[in-house]
Structure 1
Amino acid sequence: MPKQVLDVGSCGYDHGSLRNLIERNFDAKVIQSHGPKDTLRMLREQTFALVIINRKLDRDHSDGMDILLDIKSDEKLQDIPVMMLSNYEDAQAAAEEAGAVPGFGKRDLGKETTLKKLTPYLG
């Protein structure tokens, strides 16, 4: 059975690119959510090997860090690995400080380093 990855807040193009990368290289399926309510509901109802949160959510441009903090402050969800999808080093550092595992940026989607970051959770 494929592992599930939750892609939070990506636009259609970015979601397609991320889904293609993950589903082509791992036995995993990428599902999309768009904001805090649907993300937290999905995390409570299904099992995910990894959550990847866009730094700025596509639908309303709110901060993806807020969802990361919601996940990490919930006893039932806090152990789920979360990555931040951002090209900005300061955003990556803030996410890791809040409990995320090392993430990557959109520019890195095709790089071997990104696959290496995903492998511990999806390999």
Structure 2
Amino acid sequence: MKRILDIGQCNYDHSNITRFLESHWEVEVDRTHGWTDTERLLSANKYDLILVNRLMDQDHTEGQAIIESLKSHEQYSNMPVMMISNYADAQEEAVKAGAVPGFGKSALNSSEAQNLVDAIIG
């Protein structure tokens, strides 16, 4: 079973993302809302994929800052990280920071989103 960490999603989006993932792969999805709880879970678990919302649901921190923090920590830098955003510029910035190409919520049930995730956890 693959393990995925979903960071910064509201309840509605987290449910949709989890349903999408569970419908295509055998996964366990954990959830955090910002850097503090993310770091706590990362210190205790290994993840096959980390999904980061463009804006954190609770404090509206930019997801880019989370990605940069993940990629700057040696123990997390090799974990695949994917930005969840409909905005092309946010996707480009995430990739520049070391993320793998991601997708937006509007593409959640598309073959494109499935192919991007499958390339990581397939």
Return the TM-score normalized by structure 2.
0.98
Query: Contact between 1:6 and 1:31, CA under 8 Å: does it hold in 2?
Result: yes
> Is 1:64 matched with 2:63?
yes
Runs of at least 5 residues in structure 1 that lack an aligned partner in the other structure: none
Match of residue 7 from structure 1: 6
User: Structure 1: how far apart are the matches of 2:73 and 2:61?
Assistant: 20
RMSD value over aligned CA atoms?
Answer: 0.6
User: Structure 2: how far apart are the matches of 1:110 and 1:47?
Assistant: 26
Match of residue 19 from structure 2: 20
Query: Contact between 1:49 and 1:81, CA under 8 Å: does it hold in 2?
Result: yes
Match of residue 93 from structure 2: 94
Query: Contact between 1:72 and 1:99, CA under 8 Å: does it hold in 2?
Result: yes
**How far is the alpha carbon of 1:41 from its aligned partner?**
1.5
**How far is the alpha carbon of 1:19 from its aligned partner?**
0.1
User: Structure 2: how far apart are the matches of 1:122 and 1:23?
Assistant: 12
Query: Contact between 1:27 and 1:122, CA under 8 Å: does it hold in 2?
Result: no
Match of residue 103 from structure 1: 102
Aligned residues: 122
Match of residue 116 from structure 1: 115
> Is 1:41 matched with 2:43?
no
**How far is the alpha carbon of 1:39 from its aligned partner?**
0.5
Q: Share of identical aligned residues, percent?
A: 40
**How far is the alpha carbon of 1:122 from its aligned partner?**
1.8
Query: Contact between 1:49 and 1:122, CA under 8 Å: does it hold in 2?
Result: yes
